């Protein structure tokens, strides 16, 4: 790996870590395009495997900061993650069977769909949130398990941490306020990422040098993102709309590149 490639890996990792710390997602969905189009990883499958390793470790780093701030609801996170791990294992096995360029094209379409869903989602103040306890389990647990399984499958298939799906999933299933969903989502992001990473690593589809540089940048960026998330938690709708626009633009670019290659 040449020096410029190393700098691109660290810089891209810093952006991923910052966004993960800030809104609990988005960094993972940007990691694959960054690895392919900025760092220059030739194989989409290697980019997916490498991003899974980097995002999982960056999520663990950011989780520490959110846990200290009291933003993690562990029972909900664990229930969501257990179902999601099973889905991620199945999704990653299926994703490896797809043509790499077609997978990128589908990935870009998913980014656009997520951006639209983020813009259309109604804001919630989290007043209806009820922790996962014995009395709430009959209603809340099936919702968490069902949503976790669905999100985990998509996460594994596309090789993303799934934060952009997990945050709205937790807000929908558990009626969490957004800052709480962001912190809690990082447990699942890490769990899904590790599951997908192991699957791709066993197939030899991880560039460990790039992954190490990506993680190094991600830890530094994540500190800034977590601090900013705490300060701007009451203005999360504005941040979500801005980032949804960025995701839509990146998704459109990925679709354009994918179509150009396939045509």
Q: Could you read off the pLDDT of 103-140 as tens digits, one per residue?
A: 778 878 888 887 888 788 766 555 567 777 888 888 89
Whole-prediction pTM: 0.73
Distance in angstroms (rounded) separating the CA atoms of residues 51 and 15:
13
CB 51 within 8 A of CB 35: yes
* Residue 41 backbone class (left: φ over 0; alpha: ψ -120 to 50; beta: rest): beta
pLDDT per residue as tens, the chain (263 positions): 444 678 999 999 898 888 877 777 666 678 888 898 899 898 888 998 998 888 888 888 888 888 988 889 999 999 999 998 888 888 888 888 877 777 778 878 888 887 888 788 766 555 567 777 888 888 899 999 999 999 888 878 876 666 667 887 888 888 888 778 888 988 988 888 888 888 899 999 999 999 999 989 988 888 888 888 777 766 657 766 776 787 788 788 878 877 877 76
Distance in angstroms (rounded) separating the CA atoms of residues 45 and 229:
32
Distance in angstroms (rounded) separating the CA atoms of residues 69 and 95:
36
Question: Which tokens belong to 40?
Answer: 């220059």
CB 237 within 8 A of CB 123: yes
Distance in angstroms (rounded) separating the CA atoms of residues 190 and 52:
9
Mean residue pLDDT of the chain comes to 82
């Amino acid at each position: 790996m040449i020096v410029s490639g190393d700098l691109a890996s660290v810089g891209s990792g810093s952006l991923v870590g910052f966004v993960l710390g800030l809104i609990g997602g988005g960094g993972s969905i940007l990691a694959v395009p960054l690895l392919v189009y900025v760092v220059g990883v030739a194989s989409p499958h290697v980019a997916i495997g490498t991003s899974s390793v980097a995002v999982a470790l960056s999520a663990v780093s950011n989780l520490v900061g959110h846990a200290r701030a009291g933003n993690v609801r562990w029972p909900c996170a664990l229930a969501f993650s257990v179902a999601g791990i099973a889905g991620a294992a199945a999704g990653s096995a299926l994703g490896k069977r797809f043509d790499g360029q077609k997978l990128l094209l589908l990935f870009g379409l998913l980014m656009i769909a997520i951006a639209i869903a983020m813009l259309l989602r109604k804001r919630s103040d989290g007043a209806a949130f009820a922790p996962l306890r014995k009395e709430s389990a009959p209603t809340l647990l099936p919702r968490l398990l069902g949503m976790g399984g669905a999100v985990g499958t998509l996460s594994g298939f596309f090789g993303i941490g799934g934060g952009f799906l997990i945050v709205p999933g937790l807000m929908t299933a558990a009626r969490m306020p957004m800052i709480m969903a962001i912190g809690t989502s990082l447990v699942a992001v890490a769990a899904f990422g590790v599951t997908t990473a192991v699957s791709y690593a066993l197939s030899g589809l991880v560039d460990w040098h790039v992954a190490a540089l990506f993680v190094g940048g991600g830890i530094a960026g994540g500190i800034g993102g977590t601090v900013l998330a705490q300060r701007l938690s009451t203005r999360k709708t504005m941040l979500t709309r801005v980032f949804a626009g960025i995701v839509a633009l990146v998704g459109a670019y990925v679709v354009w590149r994918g179509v150009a290659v396939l045509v």
